[in-house]
Amino acid sequence: MSNKNKETEIEIGAGSVFEQLGLPNPEERLRKARLMNVINDVIKRRELSQKDAAEATGLNQADISRIQHGRGARYSTDRLLNVLARLGIDVEIVQRHDKAGAVLIEVRELSHV
């Protein structure tokens, strides 16, 4: 049986999509996705091209493209935090559990440079 016909139902707002999909390390995936969102917001706000963003962060253009498209499997949380540091952005990461025991992860930008 082909997986193409298989449907996965995702309930919006009900925890991590990574957990709902049964992917390994859903908390780490969510944390990295939140960090990549902040990086993308900064790049957009500063109107940086991928080339300019690469120069500002010490990454290459292909890395910036991967981050912009949410393909962050090859990047550690530390590496993404270093990218934010190179951009001069401070963030706060809050990880807590809701009443049902699900892990909630928030990444908040503290400064705009």
Full set of structural domains in the chain with CATH: 15-109 (1.10.260.40)
Please tell me the distance from the alpha carbon of residue 19 to that of residue 64, in angstroms, as a whole number: 26
Phi-psi region of 9 (alpha: psi -120 to 50; beta: other; left: phi over 0): beta
pLDDT, one tens digit per residue, over 28-78 is 898 999 999 999 999 999 999 999 999 999 999 999 999 999 998 889 999
Q: Which two tokens stand for residue 101?
A: 């025991």
Please tell me the distance from the alpha carbon of residue 110 to that of residue 69, in angstroms, as a whole number: 24
Find the mean pLDDT for residues 87-97.
92
Query: What's residue 23's pLDDT?
Result: 76
Write down the pTM of the prediction: 0.79
